[in-house]
């Protein structure tokens, strides 16, 4: 009987051969807006706020939260934004004796909180609830020697500091896409020297290079395999196949690359799952692996 790994690999290859839809980024990135004034933040403030990776685009000060009848949740940390404070004043010219108009320009900052960090506040576009999936959480927590996890605007893995960055769960279109993305980054992290020491991670290859592209194939295949074990592949496999195709196109090759990437992905998935692989897979589908797809 074929394993989950084999079933997922075969299914992705079939999708590649029949044509797949363009890959889409599974999380939202929108320009931050002040909840009270409804004005969009500009310049460097866009990056200072969007980098925090929250699902809501709305921000407000502590006082604004209070004025709306709400509060900032205990323990939440604010984010700094900057603004130019321009004051006009009049000063006598020491040479001519005339009174002249002058301007002073100072760079100031203040602290904002995302609407998700507040309570008892209504947002113009409430963020949909993205609930945890038990089987996916079991897989995430089964990984020993796991990398640090930090909230950021983009999903990424940084080998030099062994850290996975992820947008907030609420920034994703669905729970399944959140876990598929997290599995992708965790698969990358298995290439670290402290784990399986995979060349695609160890060599720090530049974006778009052949080795970088192959590492992306491994990461997405690993994510697809873990999604299959968790039982969420029906919602994520099409997106995975499209992402794999985008990197195969860069390599100017064909779907047979998936087979070689799958071998390394299996090793990565096994590392993440540890000894619990069979138990998790059985629980996810309540029985036979052949029922997965």
Least-confidence region, from 7-16, 100-109, 229-238: 100-109
- Give the C-alpha separation, 108 to 241, whole Å: 48
Q: Tell which wins on pLDDT, 68 or 1.
A: 68
| Chain centroid offset of residue 285 CA | 27
Is residue 58 a contact partner of residue 278, using CB atoms and an 8 Å limit?
Answer: no
258: three-class secondary structure by DSSP: helix
Gap between the Cα atoms of 21 and 11, Å rounded:
15
Which among 220, 128, 232 is positioned nearest to 177, based on CA atoms?
A: 232
Is the pLDDT at 76 greater than 80? The verdict is yes
Residue 113 CA to residue 41 CA, distance in Å, equals 13
Q: How many CA atoms lie within 13 A of 199 on its CB side?
A: 7
pLDDT at residue 22, rounded to an integer: 67
- For the segment 120-176, what is each residue's pLDDT rounded down to a tens digit? 998 887 777 889 999 999 999 999 999 999 999 889 999 999 999 999 999 998 999
Whether pLDDT at 285 is above 60: no
> What whole-number distance in Å separates Cα of residue 279 and Cα of residue 142?
11
């Amino acid at each position: 009987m074929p394993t989950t790994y084999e079933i997922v690999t075969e299914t992705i290859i079939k999708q590649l051969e029949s044509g797949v839809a363009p890959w889409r980024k599974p999380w939202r990135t929108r320009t931050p807006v002040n909840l009270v004034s409804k004005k969009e933040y500009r310049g460097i403030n866009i990056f200072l706020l969007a980098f925090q990776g929250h699902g809501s685009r709305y921000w407000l000060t502590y006082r604004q939260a209070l004025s709306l009848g709400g509060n900032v949740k205990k323990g939440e940390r604010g984010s700094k934004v900057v603004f130019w404070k321009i004051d006009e004043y009049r000063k006598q010219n020491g040479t001519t004796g005339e009174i002249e108009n002058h301007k002073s320009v100072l760079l100031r900052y203040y602290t904002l909180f995302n609407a998700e960090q507040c309570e008892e506040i209504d947002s113009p576009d409430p963020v949909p609830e993205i609930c945890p999936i038990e089987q996916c959480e079991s897989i995430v927590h089964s990984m020993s020697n796991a990398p640090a996890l930090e909230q950021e605007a983009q999903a990424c893995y940084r080998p030099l500091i062994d850290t996975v960055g992820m947008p907030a769960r609420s920034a994703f279109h669905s729970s399944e896409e959140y876990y598929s993305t997290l599995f992708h980054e965790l698969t990358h992290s298995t290439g670290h020297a402290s784990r399986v020491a995979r060349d695609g991670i160890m060599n720090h290859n530049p974006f778009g290079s052949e080795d970088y592209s192959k590492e992306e194939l491994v990461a997405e295949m690993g994510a697809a395999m873990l999604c299959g074990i968790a039982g969420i592949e029906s919602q994520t496999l099409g997106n995975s196949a499209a992402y794999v195709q985008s990197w195969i196109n860069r390599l100017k090759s064909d779907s047979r690359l998936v087979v070689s990437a799958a071998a390394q992905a299996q090793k990565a998935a096994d590392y993440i799952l540890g000894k619990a692989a069979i138990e998790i897979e059985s629980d996810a589908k309540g029985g036979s692996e052949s029922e997965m797809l």
